[in-house]
Amino acid sequence: MRTQPLNRSSAPVEESEPEHAILFRVTPMLQFRRITTQKRFIPQIDGLRFVAIASVVLFHVYAALERGAVPAPIPFNTDLAKRGVELFFAISGFILGVPFASHYLLNAPKVKLKAYYLRRLTRLEPPYFLSLLACAAMQAVVSHRSLSDMAPHLLASFCYLHNLIFGAFPGAVNGVAWSLEIEVQFYLLVPLLALLFTISSARVRRGVILLVMLLAGLFSNPLYRTLHLHASILYYVAFFLAGFLVCDLYITRGAWKQSLLWDAIALALWPTVWQMGRNFGHVALPFIIVLLYLAAFRGKLCSWVFSNHVITNIGGMCYSIYLFHFLIIYGVKHLTASLHLGDNFWVYYALQSALIIPAVLLFCGTFFLLIERPCMDREWPAKLWAKVRASALPVSHKTVASATVENAGESL
């Protein structure tokens, strides 16, 4: 009698994943290049983000060490520390202006506002909410701050209303979140502000943007003395419009010829970003930013530097760095502040920076890879839901569900 082979089809066994498949899945997670809308990647913009986040981090390291083992020679200047944030505002003006300007000036497809706002929501909220919860937990553990004290501020920050209700800093759970509330105000106004691009004459359009920048800078200066409107779009709108102007010039460019003259302009102007006083700088800096950002594209050396792979990778994860750097700086400083070589503050600053900044990059780089970068994929909620549904299915259906998820990913 012939022995029949066992029929194993009725008892499916879940096989272990091959090593090459695991490697295939892990490798994309180790890529630091940001995921951009419509695959549009402009390396110089991430290079400029690097300058902005470096300014923010280095000034906050200084603030943390001001009362360290070696006294700081100069009191911490909060206005200069905000210059990196103002650089970020201009970058936001450029990035968000591109799709609207492309539609009005180049007859590109119309921006779908529902998709535009949903993209902002799914891209920014998960990292932001996690940072607020992490800061709240740290304050509860380290500073013994009560939940009843934090709750109103935490709720206001979740709704991006802390600046308007309490002011930027009093009681804030995450001390750097004030600028993100201004960014959200700008996101809401972009479709309206982008109507500037409907002016058909390039000369008139750019003249109007320049004029509005000037008037906004002059008339918003008195708002600095107010608790609530200082940290609002009303005070900073000129910086976003500077990004609009660079966007206008960029998308309507012909064949831009790179020149060392633009490198010379950048070399002369970059130091002024952190040298100008508060009132004059508030008016003049948006115009200087326009020249500096143009130089990032049109200067031979500037374009090369701002397109450097390491610089663009760090600049690309600036959001993660911005959300958590303050927390990490003070955490590391708590352990290392007593370490110093001699009594020179700048040697002390260099030593502490060498200890603090790698910790910032390590933690924030990990957060970027695990949380922020996946959120850059506009389809991540649908993909996550598909995986959750697939994991809940019986074993016999997982093969089909897995294929469905993979096919969905390949079609994007």
324 and 349 belong to one structural domain? yes
The answer on 346 and 320 residing in a single domain is yes
Task: Say yes or no: 232 and 355 in one domain.
Answer: yes
Q: Are residues 359 and 399 in the same domain?
A: no
The Cα 401–Cα 307 span in angstroms is 41
Residue 224 is assigned to a structural domain of this protein? yes
8 Å CB contact between 142 and 285: no
What integer pLDDT is reported at residue 37 of this predicted model? 60
**Could you tell me if 96 and 163 lie in one domain?**
yes
Tens place of pLDDT per residue across the chain (412 aa): 444 444 444 444 444 445 444 444 444 445 666 666 656 789 999 999 999 999 999 999 999 999 889 999 998 888 888 999 999 999 999 999 999 999 999 999 999 999 999 988 989 999 999 999 999 999 999 989 999 999 999 999 999 999 999 998 889 999 999 999 999 999 999 999 999 999 999 999 999 999 999 999 999 999 999 988 999 999 999 999 999 999 999 999 988 999 999 999 999 999 999 999 999 999 999 999 999 999 999 999 999 999 999 999 999 999 999 999 999 999 999 999 999 999 999 999 999 999 999 999 999 999 999 999 999 888 888 888 888 888 776 655 555 555 554 554 444 4
Q: Is residue 15 part of a domain?
A: no
Same domain, 345 and 201: yes
Q: Would residue 23 count as lying in a domain?
A: no
**Dihedral pair phi/psi, residue 259, rounded to 5°:** -145, 145
Q: Are residues 211 and 85 both part of a single domain?
A: yes
Instruction: Give the span between the Cα atoms of 180 and 165, in whole angstroms.
Output: 15
Q: Are residues 346 and 268 in the same domain?
A: yes
Same structural domain, 297 and 411: no
> Domain check: are 157 and 199 in the same one?
yes
Quote the pTM value.
Answer: 0.86
Q: What is the pLDDT of residue 34?
A: 66
Q: Is residue 28 part of a domain?
A: no
* DSSP symbol at 252: T
Report if residue 12 sits inside a domain.
Answer: no
Shared domain for 367 and 247, answered yes or no, is yes
Q: Are residues 366 and 406 in the same domain?
A: no
Q: What is the domain range of residue 162?
A: 40-381
Q: Is 397 helix (H, G, I), strand (E, B) or coil?
A: helix
Query: H-helix or E-strand containing 215?
Result: helix 202-220
Asked if residue 11 is part of any domain, the answer here is no
Q: Three-state DSSP class for 259?
A: strand
Contact between 49 and 36 (Cβ < 8 Å): no
Alpha helices in 143-195 (DSSP H): 147-158, 162-165, 178-193
Is 4 contained in some domain?
Answer: no
Identify the CA nearest to 376 among candidates 315, 313, 307, 317. 317
Count the domains in the chain.
Answer: 2
In a domain, 59, yes or no: yes
